[in-house]
């Protein structure tokens, strides 16, 4: 396949115009082309000159001649399309594989195993998605937290209540498989062409349910309201699992728990599973008017119907600490993401339309294993202490502590509310973040805010709202695994974000596929 890149057109252009420009650059008759289509579209808003940037894919009628174009032009490349294959091995599997967690990694591991005939058993501590949504709604309206089913736990994992963002820095042939699977199960087809694809929380719900239905139709089981409580180990090998619904025999356990399965991490430590602390980040959610972000990115073209809601990804380094934005939610809202009683945790989400008045993102400071003496239990303790302190500052009723940027930068507590109205559903309480964070967090945030506002005017506006506390950016734990994806306990496969091998929906799903492929290639059903 040929890719014609860097086709820049104005924002009123059409896909057909991009295709025509690609044809001119290729300079071959249309009759020699079997197929041609828009592959990706992104936006270049640098220097105030907003353009759509297209990549156009073309397949020649004679694929063997595509190699001739390799060095024809700097914007033409030959893209290999390796086929993702699935195969089974020779060793007889005695008991069905068990998967702990039904987030992206667990979902895709289960789907691959089910398609290959292994009839996996999935354990999910939380509820199926429709019940989970109702449970989250009760918490948002009444402050009644279900510690087993919430924004962190339940069908779809924590990513369900985000933006359904599928952007990733990894380059893996499995990304296409994941994207096509989402589309086949109800996601909008246009996500395949977006440089920054997203599904939206509202649409992702049905996609997840449709994948679950396929897994069950192929003989798999998904057990909701069922927590993994212990692992049965015999002679250094997984022999089964203990759950709140009883014991299940298995020789293969995929741990796809997500980043908030703290109690299980301690169980694994007690069972001799090798683990260590890993870097993560903590901070706040920052909210600003989406219209101001659009102006900062698109300038005079802000609000043009052809342009999507403005997105950003910003960073600043001070000394050996990074400050950066994470999980940016255009037209979104801040959500109540606590999973333990008497704690406050914030996150962000958007629906597919991204039509909310505010934009928000995490604004966080990196922390390192050395901050916790390389002890992951201390890292978890650090997270918990921040969350408990935020609960106290919020009024001990699950309201979140908040501070406007002007007050935060001036060292004054409280809120100077003007244009930006906080969207955290349980309400906010005026606070002083110096009473929440250690000084290295507040110092780095104060250093970064003016710098990031210069990079993107409007980001650090005086009335932008800071809401705390954001602690679940990624897992504080890495569960060690070898090249065979197994931990030091044979048959135990640490997988996805909770185990420290992914960061986001796409990379977690890819890791789930990768581990499932290995098991398939080793065993036969």
User: pLDDT tens, 47-81?
Assistant: 778 999 999 999 999 998 998 887 888 999 998 87
Find where tokens 């999980």 sit: 327
Please provide the CATH number assigned to the domain covering 2-78: 3.30.70.2700
User: pLDDT digit string (tens) for 416-448?
Assistant: 999 999 999 999 999 999 999 999 999 999 999
Question: Which element (helix H / strand E) includes 387?
Answer: helix 376-394
Q: Where are the alpha helices (DSSP H) in 427-498?
A: 439-455
Beta strands 275-277 and 121-123, pairing class: unpaired
Q: Given CA atoms 441, 161, 338, 422 in this order, what sign does their dihedral have?
A: positive
Spans of the chain, pLDDT less than 50? none
C-alpha distances (whole Å) from 300 to each of 49, 228, 305, 312, 499 are 9, 54, 13, 18, 45
Whether the ω angle into residue 469 lies within 30 degrees of 0, i.e. cis, is yes
CATH class of 91-276+478-524: alpha beta
Residue 360 has a pLDDT of: 97
In degrees rounded to 5, what are phi and psi of residue 285? Answer: -95, 135
Q: Which residue ranges make up each domain of the chain?
A: 2-78, 91-276+478-524, 279-470
Residue 77 has a pLDDT of: 92
Residue 46 has a pLDDT of: 81
Q: Which of 470, 49, 87, 505 is nearest to 282 (CA)?
A: 470
Residue 345 has a pLDDT of: 98
Residue 82 has a pLDDT of: 78
Residue 56 has a pLDDT of: 95
Bin 449: left if φ > 0, else alpha if -120 < ψ < 50, else beta.
Answer: alpha
The reported pTM is: 0.94
Find where tokens 């924002």 sit: 11
């Amino acid at each position: 396949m040929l890719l014609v890149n860097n086709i820049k057109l104005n924002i009123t252009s059409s896909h057909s115009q991009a295709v025509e420009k690609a044809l001119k650059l290729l300079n071959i008759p249309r009759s020699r082309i079997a197929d041609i289509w828009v592959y990706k579209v992104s936006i270049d808003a640098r220097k105030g000159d907003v353009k759509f940037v297209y990549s156009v894919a073309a397949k020649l009628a004679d694929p063997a001649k595509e190699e001739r174009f390799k060095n024809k032009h700097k914007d033409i490349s030959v893209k290999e399309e390796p086929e993702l294959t699935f195969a089974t091995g020779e060793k007889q599997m005695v008991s069905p594989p068990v998967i702990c967690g039904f987030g992206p990694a667990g979902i895709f591991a289960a789907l691959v195993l089910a398609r290959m005939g292994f009839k996996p058993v999935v354990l999910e501590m939380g509820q199926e998605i429709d019940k989970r949504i109702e449970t989250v709604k009760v918490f948002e309206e009444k402050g009644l937290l279900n510690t087993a089913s919430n924004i962190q736990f339940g069908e779809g994992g924590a990513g369900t209540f985000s933006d359904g963002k599928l952007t990733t820095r990894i380059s893996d042939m499995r990304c296409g498989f994941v994207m096509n699977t989402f589309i086949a199960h109800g996601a909008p087809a246009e996500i395949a062409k977006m440089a920054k694809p997203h599904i939206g929380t509202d649409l992702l719900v049905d996609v997840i349910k449709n994948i679950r239905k396929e897994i069950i139709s192929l003989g798999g089981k998904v057990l909701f309201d069922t927590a993994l409580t212990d692992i049965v180990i015999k002679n250094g090998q997984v022999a089964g699992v203990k759950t709140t619904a009883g014991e299940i025999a298995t020789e293969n356990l995929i741990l796809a728990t997500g980043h908030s399965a703290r109690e299980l991490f301690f169980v694994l430590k007690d069972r001799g599973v090798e683990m260590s602390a890993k870097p993560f980040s903590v901070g706040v959610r920052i909210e600003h008017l989406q219209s101001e972000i659009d102006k900062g990115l698109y300038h005079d073209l802000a609000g043009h119907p052809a342009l999507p809601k403005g997105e950003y990804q910003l960073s600043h380094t001070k000394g050996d600490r990074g400050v950066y934005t994470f999980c940016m939610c255009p037209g979104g809202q801040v959500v109540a993401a606590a999973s333990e009683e008497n704690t406050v945790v914030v996150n962000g989400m958007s629906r597919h339309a991204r039509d909310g008045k505010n934009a928000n993102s995490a604004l966080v400071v990196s922390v390192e294993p050395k901050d916790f003496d390389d002890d992951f239990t201390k890292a978890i303790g650090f997270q918990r202490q921040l969350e408990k302190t935020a609960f106290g500052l919020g009024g001990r009723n699950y309201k979140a502590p908040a501070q406007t940027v002007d007050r935060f930068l001036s060292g004054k507590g409280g809120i100077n509310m003007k244009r930006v109205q906080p969207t955290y559903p349980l309400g906010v309480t005026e606070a002083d973040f110096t009473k929440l964070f250690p000084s290295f967090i507040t110092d780095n945030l104060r250093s970064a805010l003016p710098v990031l506002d210069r990079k993107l005017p409007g980001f650090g506006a005086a009335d932008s709202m800071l809401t705390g506390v954001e602690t679940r950016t990624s897992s504080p734990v890495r569960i060690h695994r070898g090249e065979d994806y197994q931990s030091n306990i044979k048959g135990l496969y640490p997988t996805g974000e909770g185990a420290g091998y992914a960061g986001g929906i796409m990379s977690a799903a890819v890791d789930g596929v990768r581990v499932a492929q290995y098991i398939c290639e080793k065993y036969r059903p």
